[in-house]
């Protein structure tokens, strides 16, 4: 049993999203927020753990660390695992899954180490009771995360279960959509004010648009999800359904009903159809609309706003075509997107050169295994000078 009312947690994320995750945690009321590599640690109670799982847009999972030891080799690892009194946390009726992340030269096979850890736990139960907990890789009652960094092994309980990017709003698709956590991270990184226009003119299955709509109306990303790991916890931190309902209702009560302009474009009618279905499933079809069209013909609403594009990176296109596509994006920004902050996420550094505009920000991110840049191009209405004058004028009025 985890006794303390407040305890340390670790929210895992993707490379480059640590800062936005810290901002999210601070806004949610976390204590002792600290940035790490692809993770942010913080302190909170059981209710906050539920809230973090439900509300954090850029977290992949929420871990609760409970034990740390030094490790030298396989034998010392097994022995240290055996020294823990596992009965404090679980019993023979629990089911187990173990994930291992290695950041060390001591071991090479993470799955093998997960197997060793499972052996140590079940051997202990068998020796004491003649019975052992069984393994359930899909929906275990106890999911343990093992992280070995150089010679330090940290054991955590995984409160999320399936990765939190699996929001539950998307139908199964054969497209290769962007991960929801990355999509939400992109929207938050742009600093979009949630009131000006938002456009993704190459929207694919619509993930970025859906995440923007959730952000705009305060819809918690876990709103659609039906399963969290902590719901199956018994001995170490019994699930409190009443507390979960209070947290869930509190978050739902903060949902707003603004009608922003959130627009998508997609050249392929079949893909656009899929996007429309996803948008409906996410119940944001009242704010998001999609048109089948080439980006160069996209009708841009007047005013200001944010554009995010996750274009093809060119793995399946020849060099000339990909160059032309990126040139078209730059030309169209200049011609049609005055007043907009336009952002492109791509792993194709060569193709970026064809955009032909100077980026005002470059952020390094990973889209799955692909190292990417998220580039910002500020398109002014009229000239830069006029824009600056406008800003100064607005400032004066405010003062
Ligand atoms: C990498 S995918 C976008 C994936 C999307 N972010 C998602 O989550 O599903 C790029 C999309 O751009 C579309 N596309 C390519 N050229 C286009 C163009 N000229 N105008 C509009 N869409 C285009 C492709 O059909 C494809 O669906």
Q: Note the pLDDT tens digit of each residue in 120-165.
A: 999 999 999 999 999 999 999 999 999 999 999 999 999 999 999 9
Residue 167 lies in a domain: no
Instruction: List residues bridging with 364 in a β-sheet.
Output: 373
Residue 250 lies in a domain: no
How far apart, in Å, are the Cα atoms of 266 and each of 178, 199, 274? 15, 11, 11
Domain span holding position 88:
7-158
If asked whether residues 334 and 204 sit together in one domain, one would say yes
If asked whether residues 194 and 314 sit together in one domain, one would say yes
C-beta 229 within 6 A of ligand 1: no
Tokens of 264: 């998508």
C-beta 204 within 6 A of ligand 1: yes
Neighbouring CB atoms inside 10 A of 360's CB total 10
Distance from the alpha carbon of residue 294 to the mean position of ligand 1, in angstroms: 10
C-beta 332 within 6 A of ligand 1: no
Residue 122 lies in a domain: yes
Alpha-carbon span 347 to 314, nearest angstrom: 9
CATH number for 275: 3.40.50.150
Instruction: Determine the Cα angle at 165 with ends 284 and 25, to 5°.
Output: 90
How far apart, in Å, are the Cα atoms of 369 and each of 14, 19, 21? 11, 20, 20
Residue with tokens 């209702």: 249
The number of distinct structural domains making up the chain is: 2
C-beta 207 within 6 A of ligand 1: yes
C-beta 175 within 6 A of ligand 1: yes
C-beta 295 within 6 A of ligand 1: yes
pLDDT in tens, 333-363: 999 999 999 999 999 999 999 999 999 999 9
The residue ranking higher by pLDDT, 397 or 1, is 1
Residue 270 lies in a domain: yes
The residue whose CB lies within 8 Å of the most ligand 1 atoms, and thus the one to mutate among 267, 277, 296, is: 267
CATH number for 146: 3.30.2130.30
Residue 297: per-residue pLDDT: 97
Q: Quickly state the pLDDT bin for 298 (edges 50, 70, 90).
A: very high
Residue 226 lies in a domain: no
Q: Quickly state the pLDDT bin for 392 (edges 50, 70, 90).
A: low
Atom in ligand 1 nearest the alpha carbon of residue 176: 9
If asked whether residues 83 and 202 sit together in one domain, one would say no
Strand, coil or helix: 231: helix
Residue 329 lies in a domain: yes
If asked whether residues 97 and 216 sit together in one domain, one would say no
If asked whether residues 215 and 328 sit together in one domain, one would say yes
If asked whether residues 299 and 351 sit together in one domain, one would say yes
Instruction: Determine the Cα angle at 224 with ends 221 and 229, to 5°.
Output: 85
Q: Quickly state the pLDDT bin for 390 (edges 50, 70, 90).
A: very low
If asked whether residues 295 and 353 sit together in one domain, one would say yes
Residue 286 lies in a domain: yes
Distance from the alpha carbon of residue 3 to the mean position of ligand 1, in angstroms: 50
Distance from the alpha carbon of residue 310 to the mean position of ligand 1, in angstroms: 7
Distance from the alpha carbon of residue 199 to the mean position of ligand 1, in angstroms: 13
If asked whether residues 185 and 38 sit together in one domain, one would say no
The residue ranking higher by pLDDT, 117 or 385, is 117
C-beta 202 within 6 A of ligand 1: yes
Distance from the alpha carbon of residue 185 to the mean position of ligand 1, in angstroms: 19
Strands (E), 315-360: 340-346
pLDDT in tens, 73-111: 999 999 999 999 999 999 999 999 999 999 999 999 999
If asked whether residues 186 and 98 sit together in one domain, one would say no
If asked whether residues 69 and 145 sit together in one domain, one would say yes
Strand, coil or helix: 307: strand
If asked whether residues 17 and 96 sit together in one domain, one would say yes
Residue 229 lies in a domain: no
C-beta 311 within 6 A of ligand 1: yes
Q: What is the CA radius of gyration of the chain?
A: 24
Any idea how long the chain is? Answer: 399
If asked whether residues 19 and 150 sit together in one domain, one would say yes
Neighbouring CB atoms inside 10 A of 58's CB total 31
pLDDT at 385 over 50: no
Report whether 221 contacts 180 (CB < 8 A): yes
Distance from the alpha carbon of residue 223 to the mean position of ligand 1, in angstroms: 27
């Amino acid at each position: 049993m985890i006794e303390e009312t407040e305890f340390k947690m670790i929210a895992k994320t993707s490379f480059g999203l640590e800062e936005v995750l810290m901002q999210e945690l601070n806004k949610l009321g976390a204590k002792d927020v600290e940035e790490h590599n692809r993770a942010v640690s913080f302190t909170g109670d059981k209710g906050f753990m539920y809230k973090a799982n439900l509300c954090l847009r850029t977290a992949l999972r929420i871990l609760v660390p409970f034990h740390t030891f030094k490790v030298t080799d396989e034998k010392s690892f097994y022995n240290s695992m055996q020294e823990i009194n596992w009965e404090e946390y679980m019993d023979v009726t629990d089911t187990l899954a173990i994930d291992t992340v290695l950041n060390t030269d001591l071991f090479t096979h993470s799955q093998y180490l997960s197997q060793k850890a499972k052996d140590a736990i079940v051997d202990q139960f068998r020796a004491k009771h003649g019975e052992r907990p069984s393994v359930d890789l899909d929906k275990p009652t106890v999911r343990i995360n093992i992280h070995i960094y150089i010679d330090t092994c940290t054991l955590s309980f995984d409160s999320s279960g399936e990765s939190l990017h699996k929001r539950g709003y998307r139908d199964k698709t054969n497209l290769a959509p962007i991960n929801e956590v990355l999509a939400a991270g992109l929207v938050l990184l742009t600093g979009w004010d949630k009131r000006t226009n938002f456009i993704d003119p190459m929207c694919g299955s619509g993930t970025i648009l859906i995440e923007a709509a959730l952000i705009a109306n305060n819809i918690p990303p876990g709103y659609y999800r039906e399963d969290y790991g902590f719901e199956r916890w018994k001995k170490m931190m019994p699930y409190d359904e009443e507390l979960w309902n209070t947290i869930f209702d509190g978050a739902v009560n903060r949902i707003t009903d603004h009608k922003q302009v959130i627009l998508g474009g997609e050249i392929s009618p079949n893909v656009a159809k899929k996007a429309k279905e996803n948008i409906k499933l996410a119940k944001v079809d009242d704010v998001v609309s999609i048109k089948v069209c080439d980006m160069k013909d996209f009708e841009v609403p007047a005013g200001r706003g944010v554009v995010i594009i996750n274009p093809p990176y060119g793995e399946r296109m020849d060099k000339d075509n990909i160059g032309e596509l990126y040139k078209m994006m730059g030309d169209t920004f200049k011609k049609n997107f005055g007043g907009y902050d336009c952002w492109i996420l791509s792993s194709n550094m060569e193709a970026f050169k064809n955009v032909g505009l100077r980026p005002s920000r470059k952020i390094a991110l990973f889209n799955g295994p692909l190292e990417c840049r998220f580039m910002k191009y500020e398109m002014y209405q009229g000239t830069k000078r006029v824009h600056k004058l406008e800003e100064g004028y607005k400032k004066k009025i405010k003062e």
